[in-house]
Chain A
Amino acid sequence: MRIGPIAGVITRYLFLLSGSPARVLPLFAWATLDVVLWGFITRYLDQVGNAGFSFVPALLGAVLLWDFQTRVLHGVSLTFFEDVWSRNFLNLFASPMRVSEYLTGLVATGFVSSLVGLSVMLTVAWAVFGLSLAAYGAAALPFVLVLVLFGLALGIFGAAVVLRFGPASEWFVWPIPGIVSPFVGVFYPVSVLPGWMRAVSHILPPSYVFEGLRAVAAGKGVAWPMLWTAAAMAAVYVLLAGLFFAWVHRYAVRTGLIARYSAESVN
């Protein structure tokens, strides 16, 4: 893998950001609004709820981490969509850049742009509601790692779907977090789910993060082996998503999809 093409993908996105407040604002605006909204809700719940359980690290922390994962997903897919919107596929894929280099560029861009959002969210959560990642102790690292990896996997998967079915399928990417969230127990333990949903939650790495988060908030220990298993599972999902993208790319080259990629011509 060469650094030049990867830097090309990242640089292009940075150039776009540098000249466009409309692209910078969404990096943190909606996530920050979520933190503010849920911050006040958790503050209210802390006032009326049982002493001994803090809603701030459990609920606000969950919202913050879930929004972070969504930022990662959108970071990857938005970088890809910039190529869709500017009809840049022919220029990109007729270059010496390998698919692995393109994906690495998307992943790096998605990760870095999501860190901007995370930084702003953490600052607001700490300054206004007194929440710090330190509240989760040493578990904070695997929490973030699992969510980053799973967000990247979802972003790559979404990009592959749009590559296969064309720009008109862009709508598919946006609701992915909403579809996944009921299964991973962002706001409630997975034990309240019916059996089939619990079975699904077991193969979704974020479930282990939010279970761990509630355990920390309740003063219990973190199930480290489960958490690291979730990290490994999320890494496998990244690999599978990358392989899926590569498979779709090969299909697109075989059928001529890339050469005639446009909003109206692909189905």
Chain B
Amino acid sequence: MTSEAAPVLAVSGLRKAYGAVLAVDRVDISVAQGEIVGLLGPNGAGKTTTINMILGVLAPSAGSIRIDGIDLAAHRSEAIGRTNFAAVYAPLPGNLTVEQNLKVFGLIYSVPRLKARVESLLETYDLLGLRKTKCGLLSSGEQTRVSLAKAMLNQPRLLLLDEPTASLDPSAARDIRARIRAFADTGEAGVLWTSHNMAEVEAVCDRVLFLSRGNVLLEGDPKTLPALHGEKSLEDLFVAVAKETLTGQEPA
């Protein structure tokens, strides 16, 4: 489900250089309300660098980022207040309980009616029985559910997910995918999703962008894109793009 309204994320001409090394170069990304966009690419393609710039923890060398119409460079706090994220490499503090983490980040995100919001999220993400458990003691799947609950605290207009199902068993991963799909289907928000699981991307994403060496190489519907480029599946296309990274040749 997508919308004709203004995009919740509009990235234009994004570039990040570390000296002579270009990590991201002239990347344009648009995410509409109700849309899940997959950001794909081999390791080192620039996915996490792009997400870090959208989150405001890495300054771009050039380009602009607008979140829900707000310029990130000019109004960082307001723009970031309309987004949230979950990433496997950014777990919540393990020395706080599930409930404490949600309360603390609820305060940091200035969530109104926080107590009720935390209760609602604990219930939605099946965390009621774990509310007093320290996050460091949770399983990978449980930690991912807590990270997602934190990411939903402020009802973001843009949700950034960096490999949210990595290290999850198939059942937990399916559960997470269903929750994210349901969130996007409300039509209130858009999702930018990175993953190395092509079957997952094909099942969940409305559109994908292939990044290679910091550039957007391909863009389109994950169900039709492989055939357009002479590949049988999204995974084959991914492998072709990854090889292109090594050989410098474009996929067929």
Contacts and interface: CB of A to CB of B under 8 A. Distances in A.
Interface string B39-77: 000000000110010011111000000000000000001
B6 interface: no
B57 A258 contact: yes
A5 B107 contact: yes
A36 interface: no
A16 B134 CA distance: 11
Contact of A96 (B49, B58, B59, B80): B80
B125 interface: no
A91 B57 CA distance: 10
B104 A253 contact: no
Chain B interface extent, by class: 35 or more
B58 A253 contact: yes
Contacts of A175: none
A4 B74 CA distance: 22
Contacts of A88: 92-93
A259 B108 contact: no
Contacts, number: 91
A256 B58 contact: yes
A16 B94 CA distance: 11
Interface stretch (B95-103, B188-196, B238-246): B95-103
A124 interface: no
B69 to A, nearest CB: 16
Contact of B92 (A91, A255, A259): A91
Contacts of A86: 93-95
A232 interface: no
B49 to A, nearest CB: 8
A171 interface: no
A250 B55 CA distance: 14
B59 A254 contact: yes
Contacts of A5: 107-108, 110
Contacts of B103: 11, 15
Interface in A78-98: 82, 86-88, 90-98
Given A11-B104, A12-B96, A90 B57 contact: yes
Contact of A259 (B57, B93, B94, B95): B57
Interface in B84-139: 85, 87, 89-97, 100, 103-111
Given A4-B108, A253-B56, 9 more contacts: A4-B107, A8-B104, A87-B91, A90-B90, A91-B90, A92-B108, A253-B59, A258-B58, A259-B57
Interface of A: 2, 4-5, 7-9, 11-12, 15-16, 20, 82, 86-88, 90-98, 250, 253-256, 258-259
Interface of B: 18, 48-49, 52, 55-59, 77-78, 80-81, 85, 87, 89-97, 100, 103-111, 150
Per CB-CB distance, the 7 closest pairs between chain A and chain B, nearest first, are A8-B107, A4-B110, A8-B108, A96-B81, A86-B93, A94-B55, A90-B90
